[in-house]
Structure 1
Amino acid sequence: MYAIVNISGKQFKVTKDQQIFAPKMQGEVDASVEFDQVLLAEDNGTVSIGAPLLSGAKVSGKILDHVKGDKVIVFKKKRRKGYKKKNGHRQQFTKIVIENITL
């Protein structure tokens, strides 16, 4: 059984007991969260497609941690001008474990 769910504007294919890194969300560690924007669900070979969402379908999970992603280096340069600029960025994520998918 899997579902495609919209979490903070991004779509994830999730299954039970799967850990995902979603964009940073509000909430404390060990808090439960529910996602009701389910776009597609599969259960024992039966695929249900929403138009655009499935009514009554929910995905529940638990927040494990708030973490930062890998560092991305942004380097800008203009040749023969002496212009160089180096910046770094670390995106913030929320680590979520999927506990249950209900249709």
Structure 2
Amino acid sequence: MYAVFQAGGKQHRVVKNQIIRIEKLNILVDKIIEFNQIIMIVNHPKIQIGNPFLIKSKIIAKIIAHGRYNKIMIIKFNRRKHYRKHIGHHQLFTDIKISDIVEN
């Protein structure tokens, strides 16, 4: 059994007890969160597809940790024009553990 849900503008395919990394959520560690934007639930041979989301279905997860990815460097450069720009970026993330997938 697996489900596809939307969080932070991205879609994630998850199974029970899986740990995934999503965009940063402003929720404390060890708190329980519910995702209601379920796009699809597959429980063989039964497949449920939302239009656009499934009603009364939810994914229950626990916040494990918050963090930042490694820094990526953005370099902009024009030769012979005395233009050089150096920018760094750390993307924030939240690790969650899927506790349960609840169907209709």
Same structural fold, with TM-score higher than 0.5 when normalized by the shorter chain: yes
Alpha-carbon shift at residue 70 of structure 1 (Å): 2.0
Letter paired with 1:40: M
Matched, 1:3 2:3: yes
Alpha-carbon shift at residue 69 of structure 1 (Å): 1.0
Aligned counterpart, 2:87: 87
The CA distance in 2 between the partners of 1:40 and 1:99, in whole Å, is: 17
- Unpaired runs of 5+ residues, structure 1, are none
Aligned counterpart, 1:51: 51
Aligned counterpart, 1:68: 68
The CA distance in 2 between the partners of 1:84 and 1:67, in whole Å, is: 30
CA displacement 1:43-99 (0-9 Å, x = unmatched): 023111011111111000000011101211100001111211111101000111111
> Where in structure 1 do 4 or more consecutive aligned residues deviate above 3 Å?
none
Could you tell me the percent identity over the aligned residues?
Answer: 38
Whichever structure has more strand as a proportion of its residues is 1
The CA distance in 1 between the partners of 2:83 and 2:54, in whole Å, is: 52
- Normalising by structure 2, we get a TM-score of 0.94
The CA distance in 2 between the partners of 1:70 and 1:49, in whole Å, is: 36
Aligned counterpart, 2:31: 31
The CA distance in 1 between the partners of 2:53 and 2:41, in whole Å, is: 10
